[in-house]
A and B are shown apart, each in its own frame.
Chain A
Amino acid sequence: MAGITWHYVFKFIITGDPAVGKSSLLVRLTDQRFLANPDPTLGVEFGSKLITIPEDNKVVKLQCWDTAGQETFRAITRSYYRGAAGCLLVYDVTSRDSFEHLRTWLADVRKHADPHVSCILVGNKVDLCDEPTPSGASAPPTSSNSPNTSSSASSIIKSSKSSASPSKVKRRSREVSYEEAELWAKQEGLLFVEASAKSGLNVEQAFVDASRDILEKIKKGVFDDDRSPGVKQSLPNSALVDGSAVKSTCCA
């Protein structure tokens, strides 16, 4: 209930096949811990987090709605696409199927969501296969911190991440290569990052990248029309008592 400490509120949805680690990503983001054996999400769950976009010196509050991956909840989760400013499309790098299915998920998002929604493709669970990658050339790259908002698809690649624990309980082989996913992301105009909810690698980065993209759109005036509930700007002095304050949405 303290004073408002953010400049914008962005609504995010996290979507993708069951058991690719959507809830774990969210818990990693909000609580900085790894949710080991979560129950399947029912419908949708909510979490939030403040992040800073250093280049713009803006604090953004992320309101994340973690949707259920199971088919039975598909109808419900669709309701969340509308009104979201950002969307995380999550797949499991060790599951080919989860990657293939993203086409349908993306089609869903395209169909139901705001046309301006910023999507980022997230390959989760890289911790399971962080030894040699099929691509051979480099370890799984991580997206860098440098500003990279104008070109939506390509992230600057920087090799890192060799500090993973040597003994994994269960290592599974990678089924989706970094290059392939990156290529597809480029084709579809998505941001892309590989992440691990277990180690925390790139999790926040994924949200930061997407937020940066949304901020860029805000600067261009995309969200100026009063319709999108996914982006909200804090008002000076945050006229809290006045209920109408919450009505106004962002402006550049």
Chain B
Amino acid sequence: MEFFSQTYVALRGPTGAPQTPTEIISKLSDRLSPATLLADRRAAVLSLKGLARDCRQEVGEMALPGLLDVLFNDAEVDAEIGKAVLETLDTLCDTEDVTSGSRESGFKYTDKVVASDKTTHFLFALLADSYVRLPTLQFLTTLLHNRRQVIQSYFLTAPAGPGSIIAVLEDKRDVIRNEAITMVQALISQSPDIQKVLAFEGAFEKLFNIITQEGGVDGGLVAQSALTCVDGLLRFNNSNQSYFRETSLPPVLCALLQFPVSLDIQTTAPQEFALQFWDTDKQANTSLIVGIMGMLVGSKGHGVQETLPYTRCLIEMALASNAPTALKIQALRLLPTNINFPLSEISLTPYVPVPDTNGEEWDRLELASALDALIELAIHGEYNGLDAGKRTKESLELRTAAASVFENFVRKDEIRQAIVQSMVPPEDPDSPQRSRTTPLLHALASPPNTASALEPADVISTHIATLMFSHLLRSSPRAKASARLIIPGPLQPTHDQASNFFVPADGTPAEPAQEEPEDEDEPQTLLQILTENLSLALLSRSRTNASDREAREWDRYVVGYLCLLSQWLWEDPKSVKDFLDAGGLGVLVEPINQTSEVDSVVPGLCSFLLGICYEYNRQPGEITRATIHPIINRLSVDMLIGQMARFREDERFKSVGPDSIVLSFPPPSLQPSVKPAVGTLDEGEIWFDWAFVDFWKSNYYTVQRGFSTDPDQLSSSAGMHLSEELNGHHADLLSGQSAEATMLIASLRDVIRQQTGEIESLQKRLNEVNNVESQVAELQKQVESLHSQLASSETKRKDVEKEQEDLLVLLDEVTSKRRKDKARLREAGLEVSEDEADDDDDDDDEE
């Protein structure tokens, strides 16, 4: 301040006459020349610093070159002048101020400063001087903010560049370190080269030091910006990612989240990971770490082993922790689309909050496999369906995220087949069995509750179940064939079920069906039940007394069933037959005929499904293509196509994207009439998932064309018909190509289907043959053992025979001896019994 007043006094001049700022600034600028004393220059810089804010224009125009000279010459010598000149320059180049002109002048002065690399290089070198570090960093941040790319290119040529950055990251003073992180964030942005250079210099280690020092995820803003830096160094930078893996840091990421690094696949995650206290800072930091983990999991070309702990950590966080919902959504979405994680082998412990404890006490539920927990989460919602009825956008996001993880998981045909197969009841010709009731099957097959008001939680459960079941069946003839055999067990009305305690997916529901199912004539297959439920929902929907809101819920049921059925019946004549036999045709025709202005979704979908039924009704049966054809004609093909076109225009269909299937409720079109009450949570709703939209878009054309084929014609894409159509209508090349492609695909699919069938039958045969073989082997073994037995008894027999012979010989000898003896006795005149001699031979054995 002393300099300041002195200078002003000096400048004011003896007369005390007021001077214009221009005059003052020009005088001050003159004083910046190196000729004047250091003290004078210092005073001039300090004055200019004061003036820079108010008279930015003048100071910039007149003093900028002088200020830069001072920077080069004096900043290293005198910390005070260095600090002042840096702050002045920073003020001049600042573009944060949005008042007219000042932004432009800020950019203008920045351009002057960065006209050559000299200033930038000097600034990076100046970072070594710990007295002026802070203003240097601030000035660099400002320059980077204004002209990032130029500074970045200068940085790469700066001799002192990378080293100085690392040094400031190690600065013990918090202020400087934090400013350094901000600067580094800007510096590495979109520059893989700088990212690599800094990684080479050990930036990862330094940043993680900061994070740990700050207290990890509880570390607040500083840890957050350090984590952002780490993220910036890694994202889209393969080289750095592989370098990062080489360091000792990957396990630290897990450790920061309290997740044990080397968790055996059999052991469950510890409770201190699952149950934590969350605040906003922690959530933000955790979200960054989760993001980094997801990036490392998702990047290609790295071993599964390395990323396994991350995948596990993400899964545990999403399925068995009390982490905020937003984090769970993020964790689920970051799981790779080609997930090959043994979900069913991992056991985890889900928790639910104890009611009325404000999230401070938690109940531990019984162990469940990760797959079951995932299905549970999708179908019933977070914490076992707590608050599922409220349908906040967030909770729906979470559940659909879980459903898409499921979709990715069942992408492998073996897995989906195994899951569907497990729902098929065991084959037993004597007493037809029911399928085991899994939560998925239960939610899918539960009939809509027509007696009382609809429970929103049930609707959404059933709807999500239809989405997930579609994932299992879509374009898998094998899965469809197995699914036809599913006979769901007796179902409890769902409104009890929702409040039920957690039911492990592989167990039976908590309360077994007490009342013996008052046996309706025959157990229904899943496809029959779905058809029936669809018909029920369509009927209830048309009830006149239903409120708007309720009608919308019924629509949702209908949409769920229709979407699932379309994907199920597509290219599967046997399923089509089952559906038609269950009375599907009548169910569909009714709503198509009821043209209402309001609703386009249901009629459109019904037309679509009807088209699929017609197209793929290739099995002999009661209802043939010839039966359907007149119905289509009566409805008129134009009308059907029109319904489908209207469907495509519906907002609910159009606004679905690959990553966003949850729409806000009430929709914008209804908003003016229904004002959401202030303070209510964001409400959302689901109609279609992307998989269905994709399915529709690739197939609706085939269905449309199918309407106009004759009943006795082959598939609508068959060659004759196509060429006729092409000739007749001069169809444009594009559609021709796509038609050709469709045809090709269809024929290939046929081939594949046949082959799959063949493979299956062959496999069965093989199994049989194997069985026979094993039988043969067994028999052979038996024969062998019999042989050996035979041989042994033979030898035994021979032994015995030989013995017998010996005995006979002996006997013979004895007999002859006896005869002689008798003869001798007779000769000797002793009495000998005559008859005895005759008996001798008979008595052989006795002897």
Contact = CB atoms under 8 A, between A and B. Distances in A.
Whether chain B is bound by chain A comes out as: yes
Interface of A: 1, 4, 11, 43-48, 61, 63, 65, 75-76, 79-80, 82-83, 112, 229, 238, 240-247
B157 A1 contact: no
Contact of A246 (B156, B200, B205): B205
6 contacts: A44-B200, A65-B196, A82-B163, A240-B248, A240-B252, A242-B212
B247 A246 contact: yes
B196 A238 contact: no
Contacts of A83: 163, 200-202
Interface of B is mostly: helix
B262 interface: yes
A46 B243 contact: yes
B156 A79 contact: yes
B389 interface: no
Contact of B212 (A4, A75, A244): A244
B331 interface: no
B801 to A, nearest CB: 74
B308 to A, nearest CB: 8
Interface string B242-264: 11001111111001000001100
Would you list the 9 A-B pairs with minimal beta carbon distance, nearest first?
A243-B212, A75-B157, A246-B205, A46-B239, A241-B255, A79-B197, A43-B193, A243-B208, A46-B243
Contacts of B425: none
B211 interface: yes
Contact of A247 (B159, B209, B309): B209
Contacts of B250: 1
A229 B240 CA distance: 17
B306 interface: yes
A244 B202 CA distance: 13
B194 to A, nearest CB: 9
Contacts of B209: 243-244, 246-247
B611 interface: no
Contacts of A79: 156, 161-162, 197, 200-201
Contact of B261 (A45, A112, A240, A245): A240
Given A1-B261, A44-B197, A44-B200, 11 more contacts: A1-B306, A11-B200, A43-B193, A63-B243, A63-B246, A75-B156, A79-B156, A82-B163, A241-B251, A243-B205, A245-B248
Contacts of B309: 1
Given A76-B156, A76-B193, A243-B211, A46 B240 contact: yes
Contacts of B197: 44, 76, 79-80
Contacts of B523: none
Interface string B290-329: 0000000000000001100100000000000000000000
B192 interface: yes
Nearest to A240: B251
B248 A4 contact: yes
Contacts of B202: 83, 229
A44 B196 contact: yes
A247 B248 CA distance: 11
B249 A246 contact: yes
A65 B199 CA distance: 11
A76 B198 CA distance: 11
Contacts of B242: 46-48
A229 B243 CA distance: 15
Contacts of B305: 1
A55 to B, nearest CB: 25
A111 to B, nearest CB: 9
Contacts of B247: 246
B261 A247 contact: no
B42 to A, nearest CB: 34
Nearest to A44: B196
A240 B205 CA distance: 12
Interface in B192-248: 192-193, 196-197, 200-202, 205, 208-209, 211-213, 239-240, 242-243, 246-248
A79 B209 CA distance: 23
B265 to A, nearest CB: 14
A160 to B, nearest CB: 33
Nearest to A66: B239
Nearest to B247: A246
B160 to A, nearest CB: 10
Nearest to B192: A43
A50 to B, nearest CB: 10
A82 B160 CA distance: 10
B246 A246 contact: no
A61 B208 CA distance: 21
Given A75-B156, A240-B251, A247 B205 contact: yes
Contacts of B252: 240-241, 243
B163 to A, nearest CB: 6
A61 B243 CA distance: 12
Contacts of A245: 248
Interface centre among A46, A112, A244 (most CB of B within 10 A): A46
Of B163, B248, B251, most buried by chain A (CB within 10 Å of CB) is B248
A28 B255 CA distance: 35
Contact of A44 (B193, B201, B248): B193
Contacts of B196: 43-44, 46, 65
Contact of A238 (B193, B240, B248): B248
Given A11-B200, A243-B211, A247-B209, A48 B193 contact: no
- Residue among B200, B208, B211, B247 with the highest chain A CB neighbour number at 10 A: B200
A32 B208 CA distance: 33
A73 to B, nearest CB: 8
Nearest to A48: B246
Nearest to A234: B248
Nearest to B303: A1
Interface in B442-489: none
Contacts of A112: 159
Nearest to B207: A243
Contacts of A246: 205, 208-209, 247-249
